[in-house]
Amino acid sequence: MNWYEKLNKYFPIEEMKSKEHMELLLMEKAEIYHKDEGPNHVMMYVETDDFVFVDYLFVSKDARGQGLGKKLLNQLKDKQKPIILEVEPVDYDDTDTEKRQRFYSREGFRHAQSIGYRRRSLATNEVNELEILFWSPNDESEQSIFEKMKHTYKHIHTYKDQELYGVSYEDVDQVLTYEEKKEDQKTV
């Protein structure tokens, strides 16, 4: 099974980019879009000067519990940049979502409470809500994570979308929202 088949089998259709989209990113955005692949994993990620965005992280069922996911994340943490990723909210009928969230929590990722992410899937035409998780070596603010997510959405998620899918994704300001929480506000 090739890398795309592994991802496509594991991730819901509404979260998947087409194979053509990912291959185009690997080719035309090779300076920032990367694939790390092994017999038991596939990790697609963006690395810019000031952050890393994990687009997809797949560890095969056979290798789970052996520390491979932790090892892959540690390779990214060694870069000493904030790491951002999107995850499905916990669905108690789907134990994988709960395990995934627990795993990221154990690895030091926090939920960006101020960031809302609702995107209409081009594959299903349904609106999907995802949570933004992040890890930061230097206590990055959620406002900063929000700006980095906007950059990722504009330059990766919607890259050549009209050309690839025949339609465009929604504008970034419709998809990503930032609502400063009272506890985040600084008192003067």
27, two tokens: 């080719």
Looking at the DSSP assignment, which residues form a beta bridge with residue 131? 87
Of 90-94, 100-104, 106-110, 124-128, the range with the lowest mean pLDDT is: 90-94
The rounded percent of the chain whose pLDDT value lies above 70 is 93
pLDDT per position as a tens digit, 35-71:
999 999 999 999 999 999 999 999 998 888 899 999 9
In the chain, domain spans:
3-179
Based on C-alpha coordinates, what's the Rg of the chain? 16
Is the domain defined by 3-179 classed in CATH 3.40.630.30?
A: yes
pLDDT per position as a tens digit, 138-154:
999 999 999 999 999 99
